[in-house]
Amino acid sequence: MDEPRYAIYFVPPAGSDFYRFGARFLGYDCYNGEELGHPPDIALAAPTWDELTREPRRYGFHATLKAPFRLRPPFTETDLAAELDRFAALPRASVAIAPTIRAIERFIAIVPRRASTAVDQLAADCVTAFDGFRRPLTPRERDRRVAAGASARQIENLDRWGYPFVFEDFRFHMTLTGAIDADRHGSIIRLLQAAFDRIDESRSLPIIQLVLARQDAPAARFRVVRQAKLTALRECR
C-alpha cells in the first residue's frame, strides 16, 4: 500500500479571485478535489490546454514552501497538522508580493516582480521547521533527482533537506504550465497575463496562510487537508 506524501504550501484562500484564476486555469480545485475542466475564457483548444496543464494540475495551484515528503515514524498527520498550527501562530513579518507571469526555465509561473527577503525567510523557516517529520529519500528517489541535473550545492541540499531548491536556490513560484518549448513562451505568457490582469487582486498577493497538502498515492492529486493563517507583525515587501 502506498504511503501518502505531505507538503507545506502557500495556497490563496479558496474564495479569492487569485485562487479562482489559478484553479480554473489548471482545471482542478485542490481544496475540494473537484475537476473544473477546460476554462471557457482561455483561448486554447481543450486538447492543447489539457497537455499544457497536465503536470501542474496534479499538485493544484500553489507555491511550494516545504517540498513533498513521506512521514517519518512514529509521526502522524495529526502531529504534522499540529506543528503547522504552531508554526503559523509564531508572529512574523507579513508578506505581500507584486505578482507577474514569467517563464522559469521551460515552464510558466506566477512569480514576484521583485525579490522578497520575507518570502525567502518564510520558505527557509518551513524547510527547517518541518524537516523532523520527513522520512529520508530512498536511494531511487535521490538518484532520480540527481539524474535530472543539479549543482554540487543542490545535491548537498537534497541529501540534507530532501529537496535541491532550498535557501539560496529557492524561488517563489506558482506553476501554471508544464514544460513547453521556448518559442511558445511569449504567446502563452501574453494569453495568461491578459486573463490575470482582469482580476481585481492582480497587483498584490498577500501571503496570509499556509496549508498542509496530502497526496494519497503517486498518481493521485494533492488536496488541502489543513489551513493555518499566519500571524503577522507588520507588512514587509
* Percent of the chain whose pLDDT exceeds 90: 83
Q: What integer pLDDT is reported at residue 18 of this predicted model?
A: 94
DSSP one-letter code for 223 = E
| Amino acid present at 204 | S
Q: What integer pLDDT is reported at residue 227 of this predicted model?
A: 98
- Structural domain span for residue 45: 5-236
Q: What integer pLDDT is reported at residue 41 of this predicted model?
A: 77
**pLDDT category, 148, cuts 50, 70, 90?**
confident
What's the rounded Cα separation, in Å, for the pair 184 and 106? 10
**pLDDT category, 1, cuts 50, 70, 90?**
low
Q: What is the dihedral of CA 6, 179, 15, 222, to 10 degrees?
A: -20
Q: What integer pLDDT is reported at residue 234 of this predicted model?
A: 56
Length of the chain measured in residues:
237
**Strand-pair category, 92-97 with 232-236:** parallel
Asked if pLDDT for residue 235 goes beyond 50, the answer is: no
C-alpha cell of residue 177: 504550465
Asked if pLDDT for residue 198 goes beyond 90, the answer is: no
**pLDDT category, 146, cuts 50, 70, 90?**
confident
Asked if pLDDT for residue 236 goes beyond 80, the answer is: no
- Tens-place pLDDT, residues 80-97: 999 999 999 999 888 889
Domains in the chain: how many in total? 1
Backbone region of residue 167 per phi and psi (left: phi > 0; alpha: psi in -120 to 50; beta: other values): left
Question: Between 17-26 and 182-196, two packed helices, what is the crossing angle to 10 degrees?
Answer: 140
Angle at 150 between CA 211 and CA 110, to 5 degrees: 40
Residues 195-210 have a mean pLDDT of 87
CATH (domain of 24): 3.90.1140.10
Higher-confidence residue of 200 and 218: namely 218
What's the rounded Cα separation, in Å, for the pair 44 and 207? 30
Its pTM stands at: 0.94
**pLDDT category, 52, cuts 50, 70, 90?**
very high
Residues 17-36 have a mean pLDDT of 96
How would you class 148 by CB atoms within 10 Å of its CB: exposed for 0-12, middle for 13-18, buried for 19 or more?
A: exposed
Q: Average per-residue pLDDT in the chain?
A: 93
Residue carrying C-alpha cell 525567502: 120
What's the rounded Cα separation, in Å, for the pair 158 and 121? 19
